[in-house]
Amino acid sequence: GQQVMQIPQYQHVQEGEDFTTYCNSSTTLSNIQWYKQRPGGHPVFLIQLVKSGEVKKQKRLTFQFGEAKKNSSLHITATQTTDVGTYFCAGKTGFQKLVFGTGTRLLVSP
């Protein structure tokens, strides 16, 4: 079945450093979504990418969808302590349901 892997599993950065998480799917995706889950919380939607090569920005966050629509990345510029949490990508193939990635846990030290 469809598998979605993320790397790294965990990253610890100093406040102000950049952070990137990578998402790779075993199959071509129709779209990809990104979610953030704070410790003890539930996943919260960040963004959806649909087009091949698409790039979207939300303030310090930059999201990319690969040309082959099998990979994606999330880059955070100048991290802040409020960025702490686990970031999940979630991919969808055709009429299949969203499959969540393994997640990248981000810890930011002040």
Pick from 18, 42, 21: nearest CA to 101 = 21
Residues 13-72 that bind another protein (CB under 8 A): 31, 33, 41-45, 48
Pick 14 or 95: Cβ nearer another protein: 95
- Select from 11-19, 55-63, 73-81, 96-104 the region that touches another protein (CB under 8 A): 96-104
From candidates 36, 79, 103, 106, binder to another protein by CB under 8 A: 103
Q: Is 85 in the site for another protein (CB under 8 A)?
A: no
Minimum Å distance from CB 101 to another protein? 6
Minimum Å distance from CB 32 to another protein? 12
* Residue-wise burial string across 25-50, b where 16 or more C-beta atoms lie within 10 A, e elsewhere: bebebebbbbbbeeeeeebeebeebe
Q: Which residues bind another protein (CB under 8 A)?
A: 1, 4, 31, 33, 41-45, 48, 88, 92, 95-103
